[in-house]
Every structure is written in structure tokens, then in C-alpha cells.
A and B are shown apart, each in its own frame.
Chain A
Amino acid sequence: MPTRIQKQARPDTMLLNMGPSHPAMHGTIRIMLELDGERILNSEVEVGYLHRGFEKTCEHRTYFNLLPYTDRLNYVSPLINNLGYVMTVEKMLGVEAPERAQYIRVLMSELSRISDHLTCLAAMAMECGAFTAFLYKMKAREFLWDVIEQTTGARMTTSYIRIGGVRADLHPGFDSALKKAVEETRGVLKDVHGLLDKNKIFLNRTRDVGVISREDAVSYGWTGPCLRSTGISYDVRKAHPYLVYDKLKWDVPLGERGDNFDRYMVRMKEMEQSLRIIEQAAVRLPKSSRAFIAGGLPPDEAIKESRHRRFRKEIELSPNLEGSEESHYPDILASDKGFVVPPKEETYTSIEGLIDHFKFFMRGHGLRPPKGEVYFSVEGGNGELGYYIVSDGTDRPYRLHLRAPCFHVVSALEQLIRGRYVADVIPTFGSMNMIGGELDR
């Protein structure tokens, strides 16, 4: 079937496909261009190559079960996706995470935000030919991911933030790893500023290219760094503060012209602010009340022993459960029983614990938010990441809808590249930070 652009194209112009298999199209988007020489007369963006039916799948999973799917939305900042989903469900249930967990969530989401911005800018710089900047940023991202991996156990598919709190307490080596990552990132940001800010090639490709006016940005529903690059100060963390963001000191960097360079600059400055937040949060983080556990019984022996009498000894859990021992629970998870995974020590050694475990995971039991609908949003890497969940009182969401920030941003691409050269598509598209998983869902 001919597409719109094929039908409308003038006979003397050339139609050119950019993507879906094009190194600068980030894998999964197709832009059809109608060209007069090098100039773009018209274009059509086709999305959906990464559509996996996220929303449909979620309707068939329980509230607890669908968390890993949210990792795979914006796969460069999975922790913020976890956070958005979890806080929406918490709003429905009326649960609040303990203070330490809230600070951990802030730390984790800011680390993800930096890695998100770094990835976006690294790709954008590389596509403009600045390979060194790309390598520097990837290096900084590695340090950040080391910190994330140490605590969450995964680099990208973390599923770390859970309903009622977080999965595990921070790793004992968190502070030193974080310190190193922050230092490295600061250094990289300084280097990148030096490499790109006054670089003539980079400026030529980004300054006054892909300009959007304030009115258009609002009309397209832009949020996040892209909206702020036009000078509108809207950040969900300031506008509708969640977690402990209102207790920390930080600024919202703004751009002026709304071009590619401003989008680059806003992201660079935002990373500095995120580092500020991380440093404050790391200091204010309430101390953990737990004692270090050494030399517990392995689970099978504990189970055997528990058959004879009520068991109270420490149990040596699998390394996968490091940080989520029962003694950590008051720090990291809400105390409401029935909303959080019962501690493994209880499950292994007492019949009540086992019943709790089954009540939590059995179909039709588990988390059952009251009937109703809720919208909640957090500031994701690309902007306002909102979840709209309709509950019918069962253990599965009746409808779950994601407000993907880059969906709105990419829908403006056709307008931004009209009348420009083919080469301008690359930095314009790069500065939007299109993430296929989030856009196509």
C-alpha cells in the first residue's frame, strides 16, 4: 500500500528511506524523505518496529509480576521506569516507602538519569563525528553502571524498585563506588564541555538546527530536557515533588532557542544538577539499622531444624538475595504486610511465613488495589513519564497505559526537519533521544 508521502510526492523529487536499518536511526525507526537535491521537502516518520504489546501484556500479569516489563521500556534508565510504575501502584494502595528507601530511590533515579543523558549525548556526538566524546561518555556510564550493578545485581534489567520500597539494601561498598563514579563523571563532563562546546563542526551542525518554538513545543506535548531547552521551566520533580526531591537543593537548567545545541546543553547541565542531588542524598541517607550477619545456616538445614521447633537462627540466604534479609526490611520496605514480598527467612522456617508467601504470589490473591483509576508521573530521562492504571479490584490491572515522553517528542520530528538538509536529520534526531522501547511500547 503506498504511504502518504508516496502519494503526495512531486514527480521530479526523490524519495529516500532513512532506516529502519540505519546506524543513526537507533535501530527501530524509519524516516521517509522527499528530497529535492539535499533539501528535505517532506518527510514521514514510521514507528512501531519495536512494538511488543507492553500494555496488552500487562493486562495479563499481576501487579507484582509485570515489573520486569517496565525495565524494558526506556532501557537506558530502567530504574526510573520501575519507579514510575511502582509509585503509581503505591498511590493506588496508599503505601509509602520508608525514608531510607526513598533516598535510595532518589539516588538510583538520578544515576539512571545521568546514564540516560550520557547515552543520548554520546550517540548524538558520535553521529556528528565526535568519536572521542562518545568514548569518554561511555566510560563515565560504565562507572555509573558499576554502582547500579553492585546494588541491584544488573546493569540494565534491574527490577530493583519494588512496590513498598526497594528490593535490597545498598551494597556495603556503595559509598566508595559512588564517590568514584561521581568524580569520574565530573571529569568526563568537563572534558566533553571542552571538546564540544566551542567546537566549530559541532556548532555548525547543532546551532540553530532543529529549532522549535515554545508554543509548538507545548502544543506537541514536549516535556523534559527538550521542553526546557525552549526556556519553559517545567520539571515534574519541581512541579509535583515526589520522594524527597523537595528537601534537596538543585536547579532546573534552561535553554533559550530550542535548537539542538540547547538540547545538548540542557542535558549537560542537568547531569551536573543530578550529581548535586546525588551528593546531597548520599549524605542525608538515613543510616541502616541492621547488623552485619555472618555465618548463618544454609536454608536446607534451617528447614530441617525448623521441623522440630520454632526456628530463630540466622539463615544464610542465596547471594541473589543479598541485601534483602529480614533484618533490612524496616529500612527498605513498607511495613504494610501483604504489599511486600514476605521475608525469605519466614517463608523457609515457619508455616505462617509459607502461607504469607503463597498469599502474596498466588493468582487472585496478592496485591489487589481498590477499584478506580490513577495517573501518576515521574520525571524520566526524556520528560514526564506517566502511568495511567485502571484497577477493577483484581490482582491484575484492567488497563495500563504509559505516557511515553519521547512519543510526543518524536512526533514533532517531521516539522523540525522540513526544509533542512539531509545531514540535519542526524543531530536533530539524536538530540531527541528516541528510545524505541518507550516509543513503541
Chain B
Amino acid sequence: MEEKAILELVRIEFPAGVRETANSLGDEVAVIEKGALLQIAAFLRDGPGKFDMLLDLTCVDYAREDPRFEMVYHFFSLSRNQRIRIKTRLGEGDLRISSLTSLWKNADWLEREVYDLFGIHFEGHPDLRRLFMYDGFEGHPLRKDYPLRRRQPLIRLKE
């Protein structure tokens, strides 16, 4: 019962921000507008839900759909022992989304990873650089249009 309640609370608090809520294979999911992300995340952390942990943050590239990228956030509440998934879409024209670094410390590296592999720009991130790839690497390897076998060696490979 409680699990339903938290998504309902979010919906009541941000009527314009929440697009839909659902239950997918036992996980609570909410699809939100990207502009409302920071407020909803802050509400989840400090509000009645006490989702004090940012469990995971990643991105999915739906190359053939119109808002192309989907950011996926997993939050976890230690006191409720409950997970929640928040998703929001980003169009290819505007790859900016607000950063969660002000709320969670691990958002720093997680967002750098997504920036590195997908090219999403996090506004308000203190130091947005590539995390895994090196400086001068071209493109974003986890995008669907990046070929699997493309090589960009720093030193020329032996023939």
C-alpha cells in the first residue's frame, strides 16, 4: 500500500511534472518532465519518502524514437527499504538536463559517465569531463550510431 502512496504523493505535489506512473515487473516507475527533475528528486530525498540514496543513474538511447534519450534514475530509501525508478526523456536538439550533484555526491561520477558515453550535458555539474574515455576521444560510444568496431587509438596500431 505504501509503495503506491509515494508515487501518489509525487503526483499530487507536482501535477504538471509527472506524466505517468506504472508498475513494471514489481518496480515502481514514474515518467516525469525533465524540467521537474531537480524538484522531484529533492522531494523524494527530503520529503516523506526519504529516498536517501541515489542507487543508479544511466541513460538509454532510443535511436529511432523522437525524444531520443531516456535518463533513468534509481532511488532507494533505507528506512522504507524500497526502490523507485524515475525516467525522463530528452530530445536530440536539447541535450541539457539539470544535475543532481547538489543532492547526492555520487551523482558527480555517474553524470560524468553518462556525459562520456552518451553526450548528455548536466547543467550545474561542477566538473563535467569524460570519465572512462580519454581527452580527445571523438563521439559517444554507447550511442546506437557509434559502430561497435570503431577504433580511435591514441598511438597508431601495428598493421
A residues touching B (Cβ–Cβ < 8 Å)? 1, 4, 47-48, 51, 53, 55-57, 60, 91-92, 216, 218-221, 232, 234, 239-240, 372-375, 384, 386, 388, 390, 398-399, 401, 403, 407-408, 411-412, 415, 440-441
In whole angstroms, what is the CA distance A218 to B103 when docked? Answer: 11
- B12 within 8 Å of A (CB atoms): no
Please determine whether A386 and B142 come into contact, CB atoms closer than 8 angstroms: no
List 21 contacting pairs A-B, 8 Å CB cutoff, sorted by A: A1-B135, A47-B132, A56-B141, A57-B148, A92-B25, A216-B105, A218-B53, A218-B78, A220-B104, A220-B105, A374-B24, A374-B25, A375-B27, A375-B74, A401-B58, A403-B56, A407-B109, A408-B106, A411-B105, A411-B108, A412-B106
B111-149 toward A: CB 8 Å interface, digit per residue (1/0)?
A: 000000100000000010111111110000110001010
| Contacting residues, chain B, for A375 (C-beta < 8 A) | 27, 56, 74, 83, 85
Identify which of A48, A388, A408 contacts B132 (C-beta below 8 A).
A48
A51-B133, A372-B24, A372-B25 are contacts. A218–B52 as well, Cβ < 8 Å? Answer: yes
| Contacting residues, chain A, for B133 (C-beta < 8 A) | 48, 51
In whole angstroms, what is the CA distance A403 to B74 when docked? Answer: 10
Closest to A240 in B: B81
A220-B105, A388-B56, A411-B105 are contacts. A47–B131 as well, Cβ < 8 Å? Answer: yes
| Contacting residues, chain B, for A53 (C-beta < 8 A) | 141
In whole angstroms, what is the CA distance A218 to B76 when docked? Answer: 10
For window 36-94 of B, CB contacts with A under 8 Å fall at: 52-56, 58, 60-61, 72, 74, 78, 81, 83, 85
Q: Which 9 A-B pairs have the closest CB atoms?
A: A48-B132, A221-B106, A51-B132, A411-B109, A403-B56, A401-B58, A219-B105, A1-B135, A399-B60
A53-B141, A403-B55 are contacts. A220–B148 as well, Cβ < 8 Å? Answer: no
In the assembled complex, the CB of A274 is this many whole angstroms from the nearest CB of chain B, namely 22
Please determine whether A4 and B104 come into contact, CB atoms closer than 8 angstroms: no
Which secondary structure dominates chain A's binding surface? mixed
| Contacting residues, chain A, for B27 (C-beta < 8 A) | 374-375
For window 1-53 of B, CB contacts with A under 8 Å fall at: 24-27, 52-53
Closest to B133 in A: A48
In whole angstroms, what is the CA distance A1 to B133 when docked? Answer: 14
In whole angstroms, what is the CA distance A373 to B54 when docked? Answer: 19
In whole angstroms, what is the CA distance A374 to B146 when docked? Answer: 24
Closest to A238 in B: B81
| Contacting residues, chain A, for B130 (C-beta < 8 A) | 48
| Contacting residues, chain A, for B61 (C-beta < 8 A) | 399
In the assembled complex, the CB of B113 is this many whole angstroms from the nearest CB of chain A, namely 8
Closest to A216 in B: B105
A51-B133, A388-B72 are contacts. A221–B148 as well, Cβ < 8 Å? Answer: no
A1-B135, A56-B142, A91-B25 are contacts. A221–B104 as well, Cβ < 8 Å? Answer: yes
Closest to B144 in A: A59
Please determine whether B104 and A219 come into contact, CB atoms closer than 8 angstroms: yes
Please determine whether A384 and B148 come into contact, CB atoms closer than 8 angstroms: no
| Contacting residues, chain B, for A91 (C-beta < 8 A) | 25-26
Instruction: Give the interface centre of A47, A220, A239, A374 by most chain B CB atoms within 10 Å.
Output: A220
Closest to B116 in A: A48
| Contacting residues, chain A, for B106 (C-beta < 8 A) | 219-221, 408, 411-412
Please determine whether A234 and B78 come into contact, CB atoms closer than 8 angstroms: yes
Please determine whether B55 and A221 come into contact, CB atoms closer than 8 angstroms: yes
| Contacting residues, chain A, for B74 (C-beta < 8 A) | 375, 386, 388, 403
| Contacting residues, chain B, for A399 (C-beta < 8 A) | 60-61
Please determine whether B54 and A221 come into contact, CB atoms closer than 8 angstroms: yes
Please determine whether B24 and A386 come into contact, CB atoms closer than 8 angstroms: no
Identify which of A4, A221, A390, A407 contacts B60 (C-beta below 8 A).
A390
